[in-house]
Chains A and B, each alone.
Chain A
Amino acid sequence: MANGYAGKILKVDLTTKTIGEIPTSQYEQWGGGHGMGSAIFWDLCEDPTVDGTDPKNVVTIMAGPLSGTLASGAAGRTEVQGIGLQSMPRGWFTRSNFGGRFSTHLKYAGWDGIVILGKSDKQVWLNIVDGKVTLEDATSLWGLDTHATQQKIWASVLGAPPAGNWDTLGTTRDSGRSTQRPAVLSAGPNAEKFGPWASLVHDGGNGAGQGGFGGVFASKNLKAVSVLGTGGIEVADPNALMQARTWLMGYAVAGNWDNQGKNVAGNWPLPANPGTASSFPKGTALRPQGCAGCVRMCRCRSDKIMGNDSMCVDFFTTAGATPEVNVVWTDLMQKLGLNAFNLVGLFPWLRGLVAEGAIGKGKAIDSSLPFEQMTSVAFGVDLMNSIVNQTDIGKDLALGLWQCAQKWGRLDKDLATGMLPLQEWGYVHHYDGRTEAEWGYGCLLGDRDINEHDFNWICYWTPTIWAAYGMTPLVTAQRMAEIMSKQMIPYSDEPNLIDYSDAGIYSETMAKTTAWHRHYTRYYKQALGFCDWNWADFVNPYGPDFVGATSIGEPKFFNAVTGKNQTFAEGMEIGRKIWNLDRAVWILQGRTRDMEVFSDYMYDVAATAKTPGIPYEMPYTMPVFENGAWSYKSVAGRKLDRQKVEDFKTLFFKLEGWDTKTGWPTRKTLEDLGLKNVADKLQGAGKLGAA
């Protein structure tokens, strides 16, 4: 069928060692990726209240219809879901996502995704070569790092180190040939020992970093998943897909090499996130590298190998070390399969503890780590190894940052000052909810740090860099607001959707912005795989009158691949459905509105560069609508008002059709979305929102 889907989802029961299939058509209404993953989890997880290490946890690793196609900035992502190990006060049903070439090979092997149930009695890795799926002995791999594991699996699947020629997979020439290496997703060495920190790594540094999915894998006695596909995916309208690709290249440097100076300050839409190339030591020979089907290429490969496929915060952007030190740390972090973002938060905390005299040899927190040289190679290496091996402070750190602080008796105190920068749910402060409100709210009302930069690039970084360097804005705040309102279907009649003023961040309009963001990311980015480094494309210097590709581009690619005629509004509604389904799972897991509060520093401490000490942040300049006019204004130094946040939540719940007392979806809302079964289950649990 020429619709971008492979047609079946692989279902692996590790307990019974049975391999089965789920027809993709059963879940096609959910798009792919996260949508299918949530729906499958809802159907197959007997008890979502269990701990993430329980065999009843269901893990999904999903591609989508655009995976492996030329859908640019959408073909390379893979969405991982399940009950996580990282968030507090409990591991929410959560998500992570990684790039590279895994979802491409999964699709070419004939699968739209993988569902993993149960727990194996032996250590295994999952071997997928087209339709041949086997569980292999992982005993010899269990203690290996992610890079060594992948290379050993390559040799195992291909029979020999690849000579770069055509390998015949199977027994006949018609059973499939490939020049490619398998795409492997691996947990780190003995990941059960540092589960809440454990990521999954594919190739050099494509990481499903947050959520502790490496620990979830390990709890199932699963080390890695390898896939090699020699088949293909039919596309509904190949010519339209080619045209869409060249059209989108016009919105990036890819189509403007002769005019690449005309770019929005900071990041958009350049190849290689600025900061990635410069993260390497001076003089390093580099190329840009991109996931399958990409048009931007956000990371690099170097002549030193260390840091290959890594980018941005993978390079320890909060540690204050030199690039020479960073690349060594980055390489180790990826090999060990450690959550890079936890390390982002750990360094400021440790610096604070050192300054307080609270940590070190013979101190209240006794440690032999070389704190006098926190920017030396040895410090980072010893720190990371201590977490993985549970030595020194690593024994407590390995429990998770929140849990460690609790054990040290410092949780409330350090969250109150922001010295331990966990903004919500025990996740490290990424961007500041005191200033960039939609980021904070999206995290708070969801399950984790959102890591979705759609508004962040355009509404925070761009005006902030313009202001910081005295540059003339390419677009006025008013023009920015006009462009974005038009794209933020179905709220396009609202002119003030990006008003980040002191009043604006608590308004019903900001509730709409937050809701839009949840729905857009659930469908377009996490179900269909539109990558955060390229989408949403709101304001683009290469676009006509600076209008970016979003709301046109997403349906253009989706419809070219699937042959459907889906509008952007229809996609947004699917996103709303997925978001409501996720909300229902969290509610079954025990979510109530009174749990949805930020850490104290968000309310009590002004947002400055010193709190929470995340050095990559610059004081926030954002668009505001005040006194009847738009402008870019510094909102640095703001803190949130507790009551106003509570009032905002009420506005948000009302907008979403949820019970304002509890934050639980009502029957009407769920049934209007076709989720009657969800309403029934919530009712049975006594957790259905009152109308």
Chain B
Amino acid sequence: MGDIDKTKGTEPEGKVVSRREFVTGLGGVGLGAVIGGLLGQGFFTPDKVFAIPASGGYLLVDTKKCAGCTSCMMACSLVHHGQVNYSLSRIQITQNSFAAFPNDISMAMCRQCPFPACVEVCPTGACHVDTANGNVRTVDEAKCIGCERCVNACPFTPSRALWNGADKHAQKCDLCADTPFWNEKGGPGGKQACATVCAMKAISFTKDVPVQGADTGYNVDLGSTSKVWQGFGFNVG
């Protein structure tokens, strides 16, 4: 159980916190429990334990279905920045033609961690929980001072928070909450560009918090063991 700050938290009136929300608030993989940057973003459970509202949505992937076409990366950078640019994509697909399936492709999407290290370490609150957009973890570019603590704090490789060297700020997956170049509603209540363009349906969206602590919470069967998939000759072994 983490440190409890009783003096600076915001206590929403009438908010009931479920056991699941409470537990997932402390369940981020490999994270410490320093409240720090979570000031003003957490809430107190009825018994005064400080927790972070879980994201209203998560990307799930099936790495055995991914065809490595990187359309998701192109779409992500396109809808956020108006350009196609792998280095600006908030989902990263890496691949190696000389490796054996299924290790030839990795899919690196933000897990919208229940206890987000990137939010936790941000000294300015730039990387924050966006309560107006389903509690998605995202970067307010105007507040980013470019310290890259978020990039370094992400427990996953490659870091899901990334540095935008052209515009000089960090950025990360916001579940398409802010996509000025796409006329579709995004965020946890809307569409995600990567899942929309994925021809193999290897990316999906869920509102349910995935099981934490292992890849299998996020890397799931999205049809790779189905008869339809096998009917095309794709045997995932």
Contacts and interface: CB of A to CB of B under 8 A. Distances in A.
A104 B228 CA distance: 31
A303 B237 contact: yes
B98 A241 contact: no
Interface string B206-233: 0000000000000000010000100011
A203 B66 CA distance: 17
Contacts of A232: 77, 81, 83-88
11 contacts: A69-B78, A70-B71, A164-B158, A172-B165, A181-B95, A232-B87, A233-B85, A239-B181, A257-B223, A287-B65, A295-B199
Nearest to A107: B84
Interface stretch (B28-36, B47-55, B102-110): B102-110
B214 to A, nearest CB: 18
Given A163-B157, A166-B159, A293-B71, A286 B234 contact: yes
B98 A242 contact: no
Interface centre among A230, A249, A293 (most CB of B within 10 A): A293
A165 interface: yes
Contacts of B181: 238-239
Interface stretch (A21-29, A131-139, A277-285): A277-285
B96 interface: yes
A254 interface: yes
Interface string B159-186: 1001101101000000000000111100
Q: Which of the four size classes fits the interface of chain B?
A: 35 or more
A68 B104 contact: no
A547 B129 CA distance: 47
Interface of B: 64-71, 74-75, 77-79, 81-88, 92, 94-102, 104-106, 108, 148, 151, 157-159, 162-163, 165-166, 168, 181-184, 193, 196-197, 199-201, 223, 228, 232-237
Contacts of B65: 287
A164 B131 CA distance: 32
B199 A252 contact: yes
A286 B235 contact: yes
Nearest to A282: B235
Interface in A276-312: 276-278, 283-297, 300-305, 308-309
Contact of A291 (B69, B77, B98): B69
B97 A308 contact: yes
A246 B197 contact: yes
A254 B82 contact: no
B168 A166 contact: no
A293 B183 contact: no
A162 B234 contact: no
Contacts of B100: 302-305
A178 interface: yes
B197 A242 contact: yes
A292 B70 contact: yes
Given A232-B85, A241-B78, A292-B70, A254 B233 contact: no
Contacts of A285: 101-102, 235-237
Contact of A277 (B159, B193, B196, B233): B233
Contacts of A203: 97
Q: Is the interface of A mostly helix, strand, loop or mixed?
A: loop
Interface residues of A, number: 80
Given A164-B158, A287-B105, A178 B199 contact: no
Given A147-B98, A286-B235, A290-B68, A173 B163 contact: yes
Contacts of B148: 173
Interface string A486-514: 00000000000000000000000000000
Contacts of B102: 285, 287, 303
Nearest to B66: A287
Nearest to B87: A230
The 4 closest A-B pairs by CB, nearest first: A232-B85, A277-B233, A285-B237, A254-B199
B236 A271 contact: no
Contacts of B88: 232
Nearest to B201: A257
Given A176-B165, A260-B228, A308-B98, A290 B201 contact: no
Nearest to B75: A70
Contact of B69 (A229, A276, A290): A290
Given A164-B106, A278-B233, A2 B79 contact: no
Interface in A155-183: 162-166, 172-181
Contact of A235 (B78, B87, B105): B78
A231 B81 CA distance: 12
A31 B204 CA distance: 36
A260 B229 CA distance: 10
Interface in A199-252: 203-205, 229-235, 238-239, 241-242, 245-246, 249, 252
A108 interface: yes
Nearest to B197: A245
Given A246-B197, A285-B237, A297-B199, 10 more contacts: A235-B82, A239-B183, A242-B196, A245-B71, A286-B233, A288-B232, A294-B199, A297-B69, A301-B105, A303-B101
